[in-house]
Amino acid sequence: MSLGGSVEEAADAAQSAFAAAFPAWPTIRHPAAWLRRVAERAYYRQYPR
């Protein structure tokens, strides 16, 4: 993750993003972009500056 976090923090954010994406997956138009944005937001919520 290029936000300055550790590998473990990036994995946590990615897991949160995929968990959020699973129920909405059929309706997501751009999955890669959506997952990236959700992972970034999850990271900022879990590890504020």
Domain ranges for the chain: 7-46
pLDDT score, position 44 = 84
Q: Render each residue's pLDDT in the chain as its tens digit; 49 residues.
A: 455 678 888 888 888 888 888 898 889 899 999 888 988 888 888 777 7
pLDDT score, position 38 = 86
With b for 16 or more beta-carbon neighbours within 10 A and e for fewer, the 1-28 pattern comes to: beeebeeebeebbbebbeeeeeeeeeee
pLDDT score, position 4 = 67
pTM: 0.66
